[in-house]
Copies of this chain bind each other. A is one copy, B any other.
């Protein structure tokens, strides 16, 4: 029996607009004990991702909201510290949806073993995890970039966008990334091999994007919405594909935006340009998980794919890091080293 306590961060109240510190509460509760067929995981790495903002609201979505008083949802990498399950030994590392807490009991369903010798365990939450697979499946199943086409992605220094651009390059397309600030833009072109980078904080996003896409846009991987989408729309080529996996710019919106109403204009563009707009979440392509991990791991080994992590130390700093994530303050995949 351990006498340690389990620290966890629960949803104290639902954010109205931007999350604020009072929406989160750090609690200490007894460490749960694994029953028959269960293991106790100690969280080592916690993933922070924009989708969590959606779970904090009770609006209808593809997943149920986090209950008030419950730990915030998150995927984690944890170490088995006690096991009553024949498949999992103490000391092994497992992915799990443990949420924002130190300890978690699971029967291993939905978990996957992580081999720390093959790749740093935190990559199971990033380039080799859900964000990487989001980029891979959305780009290849819906975006389907062809040789010589132009692929645009926003939040391009983040874990999804950076892989979208790099896979686009591997498939022979021109990759254009949109990111916030000159440092991230330099990273895209100088370290990741993007053909062009556009700073969305610059004075003229539509003009800069048009200059970066002289042949128009064939694939726009949508993960932010807002002003970026508005700049993209007039540049879309006939038969352009728009996989939609996120709309982070709107996650904090509290009311229907003022007019004019741009919906009819979008539908007109869909018709006249034969656009293909399709929403997805990574689990829609769950059967491609093995292929994804194998192929991307190979590209990392070959040096064709690079990734970057933004590591925050300590569970107690997760709320502040998450609030910054929604403002684009992270640089690379945001993970919390919990213990």
Does residue A250 face the partner (Cβ distance < 8 Å to B)? Answer: yes
- Complex: chain B residue closest to A238, CB-CB: B62
- Complex: chain B residue closest to A245, CB-CB: B271
Q: A261-B259, A279-B272 are known contacts. Are A267 and B253 too (CB-CB below 8 A)?
A: no
Question: How far apart are A218's CB and chain B's nearest CB, in angstroms?
Answer: 15
Question: How far apart are A285's CB and chain B's nearest CB, in angstroms?
Answer: 11
Chain B positions within 8 Å of A222 at CB level: 267
A247 to B268, CA, bound (A): 7
Chain B positions within 8 Å of A15 at CB level: none
Query: In the complex the two chains form, is B60's CB within 8 Å of A272's CB?
Result: yes
Counting chain A residues whose Cβ lies within 8 A of the other chain, the interface size class is 35 or more
- Complex: chain B residue closest to A222, CB-CB: B267
Query: In the complex the two chains form, is B259's CB within 8 Å of A246's CB?
Result: no
Query: In the complex the two chains form, is A274's CB within 8 Å of B279's CB?
Result: yes
Query: In the complex the two chains form, is B261's CB within 8 Å of A256's CB?
Result: yes
Query: In the complex the two chains form, is A271's CB within 8 Å of B256's CB?
Result: no
Partner of A274, one of B54, B238, B247, B280: B280
Does residue A1 face the partner (Cβ distance < 8 Å to B)? Answer: no
Q: Mark A226-265, 1 if CB is under 8 A from B, else 0.
A: 1001000000001000001111001001001111111111
Q: Mark A8-48, 1 if CB is under 8 A from B, else 0.
A: 00000000000000000000000000000000000000000
The 5 closest A-B pairs by CB, nearest first: A259-B259, A262-B263, A270-B279, A256-B260, A271-B279
Known pairs A229-B267, A261-B263; list 9 more (Cβ under 8 Å).
A62-B273, A256-B261, A256-B262, A256-B265, A259-B261, A261-B262, A266-B266, A275-B277, A275-B279
